[in-house]
Structure 1
Amino acid sequence: MAEERNEYLKKIELLVDQNPDYKLEAYTFVLAVLHDTVSRLSKPRHVAGKELLEGIRQYAIRQFGPMALTVIRYWGVHETLDFGKIVFRLVESKLLSKQPQDQLEDFMDGYDFEEAFGKYKIDDETL
């Protein structure tokens, strides 16, 4: 299991070396969000781009609270399309798979980051 994790990490490190636009944490965050999103479904299935974006929004707020926007920007992610680019780089590296209908454009204009992450409020469920 540790070897498999190391192989994943090596592939992600190679991605970062080849495309330094986004920090390693952005890639591992997307993988964690995908796992979290799928685990919340009644039964495992493919997650579409728009669904993943909503999972990203919710997970980031749960994990980082009022710092979510700052953290995501620090990773080099400034719009939802950036998350799409990360996903498709993970697909190209065979760390994720996609369906024929999946497109990078699915991640365009998903939401405004200021609106999605900048207006944090404490929710009873997060306590």
Structure 2
Amino acid sequence: MDGAVLAEPIMERLRKRNPAYNETAYLFLLAALHFTIERAGEARHITGRELAEGCRDLAMERFGLMARSVLEFWGIRSTRDLGEIVFALVECGVLVKQDGDCVHDFEDVFCFCEAFENNYPWCAPRELQT
């Protein structure tokens, strides 16, 4: 690898690789990875599905009803975007992957509309008063 590339700050490399994502998206994903590992109760490999679900749960915990809006502001519109961010971090040497890991592990893990709007815990349908 070129020494100039190694000297370039990681966030700059991430921005160049995929400018669709806000810098905060990468930091959030790393926080979600930590959250997911803590929830697992042990340091171990986290699957794409587990990490996507951890991102969802952390976003709901931190941002409540605004979770989907916050993620979309950062460029995250689907679980596939989470995979793109993970593999950008792998490419920059921030994260490591196992042989079987791929970006497709993150495809269609859940629907953002369902997770953050239709099935949001506080949005349970109420019975109408008659």
Q: TM-score range by the shorter chain?
A: 0.7 to 0.9
TM-score by length of 1: 0.84
Which structure's CA Rg is the greater one?
Answer: 2
Tell me whether 1:45 sits opposite 2:44 in the alignment. yes
2:28 paired residue number: 29
Counterparts of residues 1-127 of structure 1 (less than 5 Å) = 10-119=9-118, 120-122=120-122
Between 31-40 and 16-25, the greater mean CA deviation after superposition: 16-25
Q: What is the Cα deviation at residue 78 of structure 1?
A: 1.1
Q: What is the Cα deviation at residue 13 of structure 1?
A: 3.5
Q: Deviations over 1:45-98 (max 9, x none)?
A: 010000001101100000000000000111111111011000000000000000
In structure 2, how many angstroms separate the alpha carbons of the residues matched to 1:42 and 1:112? Answer: 27
Unpaired runs of 5+ residues, structure 1, are 1-9, 123-127
Equivalent pairs, count: 113
* Native 8 Å contact 2:15 2:23 kept in 1: yes
Task: Calculate percent identity across the aligned residue pairs.
Answer: 45
User: Which 4+ residue blocks in structure 1 deviate beyond 3 angstroms?
Assistant: none
Q: Which amino acid aligns with 1:22?
A: Y
Let me know the Cα RMSD of the aligned residues.
Answer: 1.2
* Native 8 Å contact 1:81 1:108 kept in 2: yes
In structure 2, how many angstroms separate the alpha carbons of the residues matched to 1:88 and 1:22? Answer: 13
Q: What is the Cα deviation at residue 117 of structure 1?
A: 1.1
Q: Deviations over 1:10-64 (max 9, x none)?
A: 3123311342110001100000000111122222101000000110110000000
SS at match of 1:45: coil
